[in-house]
């Protein structure tokens, strides 16, 4: 074994049961800084629960969850974990539809979920600059003054990613970003996520294999709460265990 530089995230021997059902079962997972990692797996594999554990929403029954060199995430609550620089995007976009795209990002930048009334008088030049930088990254510069509610589904998803980026997270967790998107929006989302890798470490959970193929360098396959296999898209797609897990499910569905 060669010595390894510090992982940004490592899970070791993590388990979590719900009423005796092992949603996460002795899970080991390691990720390098700056990596864009894709996690796939059948429904119920434990993917979202894994994110819940990383973000402190769910506390594991056992195991280690470490962020960087020596931060034990299992000791911290959701708010503290978010403050460390771990941002999560849920499946459904939760933007403020009655406020403009600009305001949505400003709100996130200020880290406050209230005090709307005074928001505009408080925008500093550096905040404005940062917001425009984020808008450019997510491709919504020309939508800055639009109400978020007027955006397409895909644009809302990008805005929400922008709201996370405003907080400059070290680790970004994105659950099924391509769900409900057009092919064109999906491809753009892939480009966006790839452009963020390196600057941020990113975990993407995704079902759409065309999308996975577009963005993935390393894919981790989760099954019954454990890591089934890991590798390139080609490696995991030709892995007998992966084929069996997916085909097995298809047979049942028929
Ligand atoms: P995935 O995201 O891979 O589809 P989940 O992590 O959502 O899978 O769920 C894994 C399993 O754990 C499922 O069987 C689900 O019903 C169960 N589960 C997840 N969260 C809870 C919870 N809070 N309470 C009870 N069961 C849960
Ligand atoms: Mg899920």
Q: Does residue 16 lie in a domain region? A: yes
pLDDT of the residue at 3: 55
Query: What's the order of all strands across the beta sheet hosting 62-67?
Result: 21-32, 7-18, 62-67, 71-72
pLDDT of the residue at 254: 43
CATH of the domain at 193: 3.40.50.300
Q: Does residue 164 lie in a domain region? A: no
- Shared domain for 187 and 68, answered yes or no, is yes
Taking the C-alpha atoms of residue 207 and residue 162, their distance in angstroms, rounded to an integer, is 22
pTM greater than 0.85 (yes/no): yes
Task: Give the residue, by CA position, lying nearest to ligand 1 atom 21.
Answer: 18
Taking the C-alpha atoms of residue 86 and residue 220, their distance in angstroms, rounded to an integer, is 20
- Shared domain for 63 and 178, answered yes or no, is yes
- Shared domain for 185 and 140, answered yes or no, is no
Walking along the chain (254 residues) 10 residues at a time, the average pLDDT comes out as 75 97 98 97 95 97 94 95 94 87 90 56 85 97 97 95 95 94 95 96 93 94 97 94 79 48
CA 10 to ligand 1 center in whole angstroms: 21
CB of 47 sitting under 6 A from ligand 1: yes
pLDDT of the residue at 90: 82
CB of 40 sitting under 6 A from ligand 1: no
- Shared domain for 64 and 100, answered yes or no, is no
Per the structure, the complete domain to which residue 47 belongs is given by 7-93+171-253
Q: Does residue 157 lie in a domain region? A: no
Task: Give the residue, by CA position, lying nearest to ligand 1 atom 5.
Answer: 46
Q: Does residue 215 lie in a domain region? A: yes
CB of 49 sitting under 6 A from ligand 1: yes
pLDDT of the residue at 207: 85
pLDDT of the residue at 4: 61
pLDDT of the residue at 92: 77
Taking the C-alpha atoms of residue 117 and residue 95, their distance in angstroms, rounded to an integer, is 18
CB-facing half-sphere around the CA of 80: CA atoms within 13 A: 9
Q: Among the atoms of ligand 1, which is closest to the Cα of residue 43?
A: 4
pLDDT of the residue at 124: 85
pLDDT of the residue at 218: 96
């Amino acid at each position: 074994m060669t010595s390894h530089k510090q992982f940004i995230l490592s899970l070791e021997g993590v388990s979590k049961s719900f009423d005796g059902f092992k949603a996460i079962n002795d899970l080991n997972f390691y990720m390098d800084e700056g990596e864009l990692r894709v996690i796939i797996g059948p429904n119920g594999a434990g993917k979202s629960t894994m994110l819940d554990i990383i973000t402190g929403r769910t506390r594991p029954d056992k195991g280690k969850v470490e962020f960087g060199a020596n931060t034990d995430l299992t000791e911290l609550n959701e708010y503290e974990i978010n403050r460390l620089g771990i941002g999560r995007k849920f499946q459904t976009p939760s933007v403020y539809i009655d406020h403009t795209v600009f305001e949505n990002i400003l709100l996130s930048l200020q880290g406050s979920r209230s005090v709307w009334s005074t928001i505009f008088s408080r925008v500093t030049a550096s905040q404005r600059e940062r917001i425009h930088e984020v808008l450019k990254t997510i491709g919504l510069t020309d939508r800055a003054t639009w109400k978020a509610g007027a955006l397409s589904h895909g644009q809302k998803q990008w805005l929400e990613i922008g709201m996370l980026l405003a907080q400059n997270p070290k680790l970004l967790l994105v659950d099924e970003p391509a769900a409900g998107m057009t092919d064109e929006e999906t491809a753009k989302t892939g480009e966006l996520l790839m452009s963020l890798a390196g600057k941020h470490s990113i975990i993407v959970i995704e079902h759409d294999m065309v999308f996975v193929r577009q963005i993935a360098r390393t894919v981790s396959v989760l099954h019954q709460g454990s890591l089934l296999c890991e590798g390139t898209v080609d490696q995991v797609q030709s892995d007998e265990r992966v084929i069996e897990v997916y085909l097995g499910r298809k047979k049942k569905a028929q």
